[in-house]
Structure 1
Amino acid sequence: MTTTPTADWLRLNEQICFSLHSAARAFGGVYRVILKDLGLTYPQYLVMLVLWEHGDLPVKKLGEQLRLDSGTLSPLLKRLEAAGLVRRERSARDERSVEVRLTEEGVALREQALEVPVRIAAATGFDVEEIRGLRARLDELTTALDAAARAEAARAAESR
């Protein structure tokens, strides 16, 4: 347990969420500069990463991979489609489902994007093992927080 007095727990610099928020914003600044040459924003880059890795996907699956709702994902896809990087098409199997497919330009952009992770890694000042360790710890944190959110939601539902 910590030796920090309880009253100090409400200080901004004691909040892990703020440390993560600050780091995410700092990443955003670096990504903004690096991705400018690709013509992508960071959220668009994440969409492209999933499509490069998995190929064609229904919008719903893409949203699950990125932890984004359709209200956030739809405008991203619209901009990527306007840029000629993806196509959205109704599924032949299920008319309610929309598939997202990379265009030839979207596939070709992958080659240019290969330098992005290298430049980001260099910007962190961490070596590969430190990055892997941090990512593993953050994955553990995400799993724990997801479980805590489900437990809190269940408790709230019970108290109604």
Structure 2
Amino acid sequence: MAMVFDRTFRELDLTQAQFRLLIAIYEMNDAGIAPSDLAEALLIERATVTVLTARLVDRGLVVRLPGANRRTHFLKLTEEGVALLEQAIPSAIRLADAALTEIERADLEQARLLLGAIEARLRVMSDTHID
């Protein structure tokens, strides 16, 4: 899916990982989000968030806002970031619709439930040390 997404959004210079990050930041509205919370929300490593956001900051799509102390900061979309996301969302919806069009509604619901259970389990696992 990432390869198809990346090919579709090449003209916007936007990868699937960057899109997911922008969506998650956008959902926080004006509050911004700490990189650690973003990593937890997306079930990715904090280092991955750092790499992805560096590129988005360089492009002027995301800004780092100072936190309560010097070690923390929050990420927020710039106007350019919001504009790019609003440009990308309709194409992302069309891409998802095209990918799912041949699948029965009951099968999609079953897949949604299964993926929800997997996500819940991964969230529990991310909070505990498993050997």
The TM-score by the shorter chain falls in which range?
0.7 to 0.9
Q: CA RMSD in A?
A: 2.5
Map of 1:96 onto structure 2:
71
- 3-state SS of paired residue (1:57): coil
CA deviations 1:76-132 (Å, max 9, x no partner) are 0000011110011321x2322111111110111222122212222212333666444
Tell which has more relative contact order, 1 or 2 (C-alpha 8 A, sep 6+): 2
Q: TM-score with structure 2 length normalisation? A: 0.80
Gaps of 5+ in 2: none
How far did residue 141 of structure 1 move?
Answer: 2.4
Structure 1 residues 119 and 149: alpha-carbon distance in aligned structure 2, compared to 1, 3 A threshold: closer
Among 112, 124, 129, which residue is 1:135 paired with? 112
Runs of 4 or more, structure 1, over 4 Å off, are: 127-130, 145-152
Among 37, 52, 66, which residue is 2:42 paired with? 66
Map of 2:26 onto structure 1:
52
Q: TM-score with structure 1 length normalisation? A: 0.67
CA distance in 2, matches of 1:37, 1:129: 35
- Structure-to-structure mapping, 1:78-157, within 5 angstroms: 78-91=54-67, 93-115=68-90, 116-125=92-101, 126=103, 130-144=107-121, 147=124, 153=130, 156=131
CA deviations 1:46-90 (Å, max 9, x no partner) are 101101212311111111111122211111000001111001132
Map of 1:15 onto structure 2:
none
What is the letter of the counterpart of residue 27 of structure 2? E
Bigger radius of gyration among the two: 1
Q: How much identity, in percent, do the aligned residues show? A: 27
- Give the total of aligned pairs: 127
